[in-house]
Amino acid sequence: MQNEDGVPVSAGREALAKILDDLTVILENPLTQIDLTGDMWRARALAVVRERVFNLFCAVAVRLGAPLPPLEEGLWRPFVPADKPSDIMAARQKWVTEQVTSQIYGGTPQNVFESLALIRVFNLFMGQGKGEGIDERVFIALMNHVLVETGYQAIRPDYSIINVALASGQPRPANTVRVLIVDDSIAEMVKTATALVGWPNIQVLLYKQGGDEYAYKLKGDEKTAAIKTVLDTIVESGAHVVLMDEGLQGIEGHEVVAAFNATREPEEALPYFVANTGGSAEELKKAGCFTNCEKGKNLAGVCYAVEVADKDISPTAAAETVQL
């Protein structure tokens, strides 16, 4: 039995199940967890990143007929205004709260999100005035705050309209190929990892280099130590393919690649390096990287690296599973 694209239904479900597994790995990674007790600016930034992955996970679950996880509070709570607003903003926030509350207590809808009146409130509010207003995320956060506080479920997107593309044209390695993404930005790292979900026999590992604060270019011993930290992580990960960002915290990606290649034994082929930068990849290429992945936009270099790495993986190494 085939679907409308001519793909066997069983194969389509297997591909969707692999996407679901890969998205689960991203969502469970410590780097993508939202801390609601710390810096709300960081929480908001991470919520935007995590929401994309979470929504895609739910869209795949809908297609598989799998149960949906509860909507995570961390996806909307950071956007509830905490600071004392201006008089205009306070009035608008109060208006949103009153409108949502009136829908809860003024009618008997089974699902508040399906209430036509509430949707009209949303449309009307978003069309009001210019200048000082509440953006969509804050608006939804305010609505969810009222709903949750009064015992209702938070509003969720319609996951059925989210596009879920099955990977096509990607390599199908015989062995499990470990792909390590090295980046100093969680957002860019997750963006790249999401582009690889669903690939058969691929295990994606994430490594955030550097701290949370911006680091100026390091020199001397500090630079040597920073490069060594990345080198040690690459070795410890057992990666077969490394996607390397160029502008890291205090150092450059091509410096890491050059340092690693300088220590290789002549018979060592693994790991293969692939450039993964939003800027120029010339220095990375000179250091020995394959075609720039461009944060998941161009997968040609990754495909080639996976194919050649698969041929160099020993059966014993292929059976190992690594967690960072």
Mean pLDDT of the chain: 82
pLDDT band at residue 23 under the 50/70/90 scheme: very high
pTM > 0.85: yes or no: no
268 token code pair: 């060592």
- Ranges of each domain in the chain: 9-160, 177-318
Q: What is the pLDDT of residues 134-193, one digit of tens each?
A: 577 877 887 788 778 777 778 888 899 999 887 778 899 999 999 999 999 999 999 999
| CATH topology (fold) of 177-318 | Rossmann fold (3.40.50)
CB neighbour list of residue 155: distance below 8 Å, 6 or more residues apart: 112, 113, 140, 143, 144, 147
Q: What is the pLDDT of residues 40-77, one digit of tens each?
A: 999 999 999 999 999 999 999 999 999 999 999 999 99
Per the CB < 8 A criterion, the answer to whether 276 and 294 are in contact is yes
